[in-house]
Structure 1
């Protein structure tokens, strides 16, 4: 009794395997297709773990994430390319022609999307900007939050998030204030003509060398840059770490240093001049001729 039931069940299974679900597609082909996708998913996860261990210390987090995503997409494309011909019972050449045709249609109808995708790959390859960098892209300036497949997200100093298409980032001028380890700032002060410029430079140099975040190498560069109508202009060039400089905007940074430079000079008797003009009048004699009428004589004599 049991062998007969077993044989009946096995026969049902084989009949089910050969039963057509849709057209020439059988349950066996459906099962193989699903298994292929599951295997591709597992392989993609294993490859992602390997890439994180292999390149985690060589690449930045957002660049590594983008690279892993591209590899995983390629793994799924290869798995589908292998599974689909047997699933649909078509030749590989015929399927390849179909894929090329679909890609051509997508390329023609979605040029902007493809351009953004290619630009995103180029940005990751060239490493022009990365997450955390303070950049200026066209008229947008702020901190890069991340580079996605099709766009770059920038957070401005006002806390506004702006999405910039990758093709615009790649095709325009980009200023990266974080790419270099250090960044130079310039400060300008004016002193009176009668003040000692050498003494003022020594006082400012000593103050800036004691500033916590000012770099010792290269040292601050302080010199007389100009002499205008009201004052002698002293310019100071100071280098700061880029990472520290980007944690606050330029106004806050200058606000912390300029008042200290002003106080050092004033405490030493060196004052910042007011804008003023001296006007000299020439002391030359002059006369005014006033003409009137003499009522008694009926004439108009001139009087001085």
Structure 2
């Protein structure tokens, strides 16, 4: 008798809630699919309109999670859950979690600032948060930077916003500044003209502004020249290193010496 009673009770619950559960599952599955497709469509549209990639990806994530939250609420409503009270409970829980994760949430706020003010974007070569390299991705909590040795550095967004940001890719031109010293016994005019010839001979060095060479200092053991050459940003390091090598080789050919620190030790013999 008791078995029949519980069986009938179970059947009544199944008949009453099975459709609600099925409806909730369908709403969640279809809604999630629509949210994903719609966020992808918006991202593709923004990229086609030549909107910044960082902003496009951030907008895609924001729209997806907003729509997903709406889908979850609709699924709970289909189950018969009072979403009004659920939202209140969820809000209180979010506040408690927010207080416990203030540091993490500050990273989210920093991500918003990065997206709005755009001090850098994906693909830029930057120095920020103690890391130097190419920006691979900007997430809600961190920025992923890849140095030239192909490591992966994950830097919290709050650490980036809280310090200096140097963006080496922001401008399309950069100036290569180098200092070279020659001996006081060397021909100053010859050394200066040699440096100018080296800069003018490099096709990567821009003609406007023109390369600049001048005596910058009469040092303790050398006459120092400052050289300045404007190049396209992509050629900066190639020109930097090749100029140093070319100057050393050319100075050697022309007999121009580059002084280096020396120490003379004089031994004094004491008489008995």
* TM bracket, shorter-chain basis: 0.7 to 0.9
Equivalent residues of 2:128, 2:165 under 8 A apart: yes
Structure 1 residues 57 and 215: CA distance shift in structure 2, 3 A: farther
* Structure number, greater radius of gyration: 1
CA distance in 2, matches of 1:32, 1:40: 14
CA distance in 1, matches of 2:155, 2:118: 17
Supply the RMSD in Å over aligned alpha carbons.
2.9
Is there any run of 5+ residues in structure 2 with no aligned partner, and where? 1-10, 265-272
Does residue 175 (structure 1) correspond to residue 161 (structure 2)? The answer is no
Q: How does 1:37-186 map to 2 (within 5 A)?
A: 37=28, 38-90=30-82, 92-186=83-177
Q: Determine which structure has the larger helix proportion and give its number.
A: 2
Equivalent residues of 1:63, 1:124 under 8 A apart: yes
What is the CA distance between 1:21 and its match in structure 2? 4.4
CA distance in 1, matches of 2:132, 2:43: 33
CA distance in 2, matches of 1:145, 1:47: 21
What is the CA distance between 1:211 and its match in structure 2? 1.2
Is there any run of 5+ residues in structure 1 with no aligned partner, and where? 1-17, 279-304
What is the CA distance between 1:191 and its match in structure 2? 2.5
Equivalent residues of 2:25, 2:75 under 8 A apart: no
Structure 1 residues 127 and 99: CA distance shift in structure 2, 3 A: same
Structure 1 residues 66 and 240: CA distance shift in structure 2, 3 A: same
Does residue 26 (structure 1) correspond to residue 17 (structure 2)? The answer is yes
What is the CA distance between 1:107 and its match in structure 2? 0.7
Query: Which position in structure 2 is the counterpart of 1:255?
Result: 241
What is the CA distance between 1:111 and its match in structure 2? 2.0
What is the CA distance between 1:40 and its match in structure 2? 4.1
Structure 1 residues 223 and 19: CA distance shift in structure 2, 3 A: farther
Equivalent residues of 1:19, 1:27 under 8 A apart: no
CA distance in 2, matches of 1:63, 1:149: 12
Structure 1 residues 105 and 240: CA distance shift in structure 2, 3 A: same
Structure 1 residues 49 and 205: CA distance shift in structure 2, 3 A: same
TM-score, normalising length: structure 2: 0.79
CA distance in 1, matches of 2:145, 2:12: 55
Comparing 103-112 with 54-63, greater Cα deviation is found at: 54-63
Equivalent residues of 2:46, 2:56 under 8 A apart: no
Equivalent residues of 1:181, 1:242 under 8 A apart: yes
CA distance in 1, matches of 2:156, 2:168: 20
Matched residue pairs, number? 253
Deviations 1:85-137 (A, max 9, x none): 342342x4323312211211221222222222222232222222223222222
Deviations 1:182-238 (A, max 9, x none): 222211112233544344333322321221322223222211101123332111012
CA distance in 1, matches of 2:72, 2:93: 15
Structure 1 residues 121 and 19: CA distance shift in structure 2, 3 A: farther
Equivalent residues of 1:133, 1:176 under 8 A apart: yes
Equivalent residues of 2:35, 2:68 under 8 A apart: no
